[in-house]
Structure 1
């Protein structure tokens, strides 16, 4: 249970980080200093500019988000299998259909052609 909460917390923080880094990045048509004013992006992130740093950090955060997603799916699967061991009834809703059942009639009752 503690493991699940820790992974969920990391998952949410990574999601917020990915959103933040994507919003910080400039589009193809934007000038280099549009996000930071003037030429600040050249000095804040080094001579290569903000693109390389932000792209790498976004990729790292996305990879972490993917790993935590898989971990949460694994934990959910383990919980579902654990419920079946205790014979917990799973309520299945009946499927409603508009199909009328066909009653087999004898051939003599069918109209002659």
Structure 2
């Protein structure tokens, strides 16, 4: 069912794009008033604009309905997955490690000694 809705949604989107591109803007009405020959069209003098606007409104409504239906189906399929349930507690166990000393050992220093085993060179002026 969801696949059928996706295909219908795609065709509605393409049809909606086509209908919007076929309509002319508000500025084109002034040219038609001075004998542009629109009375000889298939839909008559004002029929094309009326038909296209109604078809666009119908396709836009159907596009909106299929968008809501696809969102509902998407929400239902997410709720059915056991790994994505909201409110489920996730427990992460930490691996057992050896205790770490508070002070890291420094190379060249014996633990408990007050002076280092290595002599630090001094700068003489």
TM-score range, shorter chain: 0.5 to 0.7
Residues 42, 50 of structure 1: 8 Å contact kept: no
| C-alpha separation in 2, matches of 1:81 and 1:89 | 7
Instruction: Note the residue ranges of structure 2 that are not aligned, 5 or more in a row.
Output: 86-125
- Give the match for residue 3 of structure 2: 5
Structure with larger Rg: 2
TM-score, normalised by the number of residues in structure 2: 0.58
CA deviations 1:66-105 (Å, max 9, x no partner) are 0000000000000010013xxx268xxxxxxxxxxxxxxx
2:68 alignment partner, one of 42, 67, 70: 70
Query: What is the TM-score normalised by the length of structure 1?
Result: 0.63
Aligned residue-pair number:
81
Higher relative contact order structure (alpha carbons within 8 Å, sequence separation ≥ 6): 1
Q: CA RMSD in A?
A: 2.1
- Structure 1 unmatched ranges of 5 or more: 33-37, 91-113
1:82 and 1:89, CA in 2 relative to 1: closer, same or farther beyond 3 A? closer
